[in-house]
Amino acid sequence: MLKLSGLGMLLLAIPFVSYSQDSTQNPDNVPAVYKKGEAAMYQTLANSIDYPISSRRDNRAGLVHVSFTVDEKGKISDVVAEKKEGFLLSEVVVVGYTLTEGKEQGVDSALKSAAITAVKRLGKFKPAQKDGIEVSSILVIPIKFLLRPSP
């Protein structure tokens, strides 16, 4: 998955998925999945994540875990920039080109906000199933913001 825009950003989905032991041992226990498919989910994220200019200017970078609930109807809610216990999805990497020289700083509120906004734009999921019954579940998407020198 790759995106390069005029703002100098690069988005990658790293193939890393963590399955809970419960879901892999019982075929009736399935995690929530994006209705349009995993590739479409990462493409939607690629089109939605903007590395904030203020964060690039202040050399802000780091990992933001975005946790959200997918209810039994597939609707997203409770989107927060904190790691909760839940089903871990593939890591997304967003590369921005730094606007200033200096030491890289940690995550700021603008990066958290950009990650939350992108996840909120995802839309519907197929709900998780436990023992064949649709249930609410928590998903976690790690979004890593990286800075690189301007080309």
Domain ranges of the chain: 9-148
Q: Can you give the pTM of this predicted structure?
A: 0.80
112 — pLDDT class (breaks 50, 70, 90):
very high
* Rounded (5°) CA angle 66-69-70: 125
Neighbours of 118 (CB within 10 A): 23
Q: What is the per-residue pLDDT for 15?
A: 35
- The Cα-based distances of 145 to 12, 34, 49, 108, 112 in angstroms read 10, 23, 10, 11, 10
23 — pLDDT class (breaks 50, 70, 90):
very low
Least confident interval from 21-25, 78-82, 106-110: 21-25
Q: What is the per-residue pLDDT for 149?
A: 87
Q: What is the per-residue pLDDT for 101?
A: 81
Taking the C-alpha atoms of residue 24 and residue 127, their distance in angstroms, rounded to an integer, is: 16
Among 95, 86, 71, 62, which Cα is nearest to 141's?
Answer: 86
Least confident interval from 19-33, 40-54, 55-69, 89-103: 19-33
Q: What is the per-residue pLDDT for 104?
A: 84
Q: What is the per-residue pLDDT for 110?
A: 97
Q: What is the per-residue pLDDT for 46?
A: 84
Q: What is the per-residue pLDDT for 28?
A: 76
Mean pLDDT, residues 104-110: 93
Q: What percent helix, strand, coil does the chain show, rounded to 5?
A: 20, 35, 40
